[in-house]
Chains A and B, each alone.
Chain A
Amino acid sequence: MGVTALVAATGRGRVSAATPSSYPDWIPASTKPPKRGGVLNRASVWDPPVIDPRHTQSIGLFQFAGLTSSRLIRYAFPEEANSTNDVTLKGDLAESWQSNADHRVWTFKLRQGVKWQNLPPLNGRELVAADVKYCYEQYAKEGVQAFTFQEIEGMETPDKHTLRVHLKTPNTLFPQNVAESVTVIFPREVLEEDGDLKKRLIGTGPYILKEHTRKVRVVLQRNPDYYDKGRPYIDEYVILSTPDFATRKAAFRTGQSDILQVASLSEVEVVRKTNPSAVVQEYKNVLAPFGLALAQDKPPFNDVRVRRAISMAIDRQKQVDTVYEGHGIPGWGVPYFYYQDTAPTLKDLGQWWQYRPEVAKKLLAEAGHAKGFETTLFYYEYFPEMTSQVQIVQQDLKKNLNIDVKITKLDYTTYYGRYVDSKWDGMSWGFQSGHAVGLDERTYMYMHSKSTKNFFRVNDPVIDELTIKLRRTPDRAEQRAITKKIVDRELDQVLRMWMPYDAGFFLYQPHLRNMAALALRRTDGYGSPATTRTWLEK
């Protein structure tokens, strides 16, 4: 089946090349009045390595840190959003925010009467602007969020509920950066008493961390003093550390877990044989976080003809059809909704992204590599499908361009250390962080040559100029136009060689209401604050 036919078959809102599934990618909010009470259980693959938000951005922590702790700003919850891709910002601790004319000074008006959770040493005292200032200063000082917060030149608190942030350079997208799920506000007292945040996670969020036993469970209990009165609805949320997929599946089947993520449609059907009443949601991808990263600052990959040739020699559709059972996206890096309304098809990605081995061969010959060459590719198997993809790429490159790729599969720490060190040769199966949805994260942070998150080693003056320009452009329409230019440039120069990806499907027990599996709002992952609106009809 051709790409066009597949796209036509997928229907509204589906990404390209996806086999039509009868499952929706959007579950509307329940129209019934929410019920209070009950316990939500989830068998989770992730276990938080540490609970100090300064030192990790692991999904293991942020599957619940967003519930214990608030941010200044958040994205719209499922029942507030008008579509899967609604990236409207809403106030969390901040009621309103605005910048000065040149977008270097941002003023946040904080919600009044927000209380820290009623635990020592906070004992339910009121949150004030100085708390947020202190927290951001600590983030800037050390740890994994330093890059974001070191953008701040200084902060002032004209009154108890006003925070004024002065940036080093103008950035119209700054509010998105403090809406990222990892920018949770922690209290001064705990850091000062303990010296770190590894033992206690206290915040102003809807849930109180009652228990965290590594490799066993995380227990969250409803915060009765949460500022959003009446919420959350569920009394207790238990996250059970369950590293094995077969066990998570069995837990769902037996009712020990209320949520299950599976990789493929066939797995959905297998589970539905024992649990026919399970509610299924298709996980709609808005970006592919994985792709082939090339050492593009060195020969032969510094030659755009070589990059284009490689891209055209890889049959992405074959990966979608075989590895992802026809469900999945051919791949792109910046979420498309920032520059166009519908998901791009493989065809939309441009001429260098089409599978044309003959043209690829010609291009490679023009670049002086008519007989091919030898190179290396290292990767970490984030999920089993990745190994199949790596092997397909190896076969395609050998068959079409006579490029011999020596594959090395590494364990996570080795892979990560080597990859972010950016001194490797050849190729790597690269990634972008899973938590980031903001436009600034997806453009400047990942593509500007000076950014420490520029793992794909993009070094393109046009991209540098455009990403800075984007930060200085407040108008939404202009932002879209610049973003499109960035994406077009990226695709034309094949700066990041995206590969097909699929996050699969979610299954929910039938008594769950207002759950979500969207990139911005998934109930089980970085979008965990959405659980505040989930309730159980039991």
Chain B
Amino acid sequence: MYKYVIRRLLLSVPVLLLSSLIVFGLMRVMPGDALTALMGESGNVSAKDLQKLRMDLGLDRPYYQQYGIWLWQMVSLNPGYSIFTNEPIPVALKKAIPVTLELAMLAIILGLTIAIPVGVLSATRQDTASDYVGRVVAVSGLSIPDFWLGTLVITFSAIWFHWIPPIGYVSLWDQPWKNLQQVLLPAAILGFRLSAATMRMTRSTVLEVLREDYVRTAWAKGLAGKVVVYKHALKNALIPVVTIVGGQLGVLLAGTVVVETIFALPGMGRLTVEAILYRDYPIVQTNVMLIAATLVTLNLVVDLTYAWLDPRIRYS
């Protein structure tokens, strides 16, 4: 298994290198740079001054040099400074990552808490009212965009309950109760979306497994229904579910952009989008690489989970 892990890790190097080239290239293809954004609407800067500022920031160097410098910064774990704010990138990330991490983890917990029981219920009560409700909820989760759901939730919370999550993010460690109020609702919105695909997959795979011989044997042995479903059927049904959850993590990270904007949370999504809009190259490049590395790692973790779920699986 170790060999497998090492091989996968080595394979991730070209993937990350390719990602770095793509993000670097895309940022340069986009017209304008951080200085034009920074000087926004003033018009008081002469072309000469702008050129000097570009030189100071290294934006006038040939692209291959800029790429080389950045690559070295990434390898040496010193991604540099934000062009826009002059803040060291690790400092910006230290503030943003915990927000998104908390949001994503809560979303996964909430999503799975809803998806798996409802999926199992739908499967065990196929074509009953509860199955139809579960399927409608799942299809809604897949089809309702986050921005629309988020806007509805915040608007109707204000109108019906005269309450919305407190604006002005506080960390979990400083004010846990206030933080949970701020994060629960957006996490539920993200979780709802995540739960939809998972719910459908759980239903399908549980239905499939329930028709397997060994499950029929379990029923024939006179085992209790819960034991048959949760002990014998569910674990075997979970492999495709884990694959789906792994695949949904990318969607989840994309969803944080919208949800963080609506609920005014200062996470990675907002940091990245703002950096793209302002052409803050170092921040965008670092964030994209971080997300790429996270997804590569998560895919590996998902693959390794298979063996835990099904001991027959061997890595060689």
Contact = CB atoms under 8 A, between A and B. Distances in A.
A100 interface: no
A41 to B, nearest CB: 9
B167 A56 contact: no
Contacts of A420: 36, 39, 43
A215 B96 CA distance: 10
A213 B266 contact: yes
A417 interface: yes
A431 B41 contact: yes
Interface of A: 43, 49-50, 55-58, 142-148, 196, 198, 213-217, 238, 240-244, 246-247, 249-251, 253-254, 256-257, 274, 411-418, 420, 431, 433-434, 452-453, 455
Contact of A242 (B34, B46, B151, B167): B167
A453 B37 CA distance: 16
Contacts of B45: 143-144, 146-147, 452
A142 B151 CA distance: 42
B163 A254 contact: yes
Contacts of B155: 246, 249-250
B46 A58 contact: no
B84 A50 contact: yes
Nearest to B37: A413
Contacts of A250: 154-155, 157-158, 164
Contacts of B30: 411, 413-414
Contacts of A254: 158, 162-164
B169 A216 contact: yes
A49 B38 contact: yes
A189 B162 CA distance: 47
Nearest to B278: A413
B49 A49 contact: no
Contacts of A56: 38-40, 42
A143 B169 CA distance: 32
Nearest to A146: B44
A196 B86 contact: yes
Query: In which size bucket is the chain B interface?
Result: 35 or more
Contacts of A43: 167, 264
B117 interface: no
A453 B168 contact: no
A253 B162 contact: yes
A244 B158 contact: no
Contacts of B31: 413-414, 417-418
Contacts of A142: 49, 53
B75 interface: no
Nearest first, the 7 closest Cβ-Cβ pairs linking A and B are A417-B32, A250-B158, A144-B42, A417-B36, A413-B32, A215-B266, A147-B44
A246 B262 contact: yes
Given A50-B85, A238-B168, A57 B41 contact: yes
Nearest to B156: A250
Interface centre among B30, B154, B166 (most CB of A within 10 A): B154
Given A243-B264, A247-B264, A433 B86 contact: no
Interface centre among A198, A250, A416 (most CB of B within 10 A): A250
B279 interface: yes
Contacts of A55: 38-39
A254 B164 CA distance: 7
Nearest to A420: B43
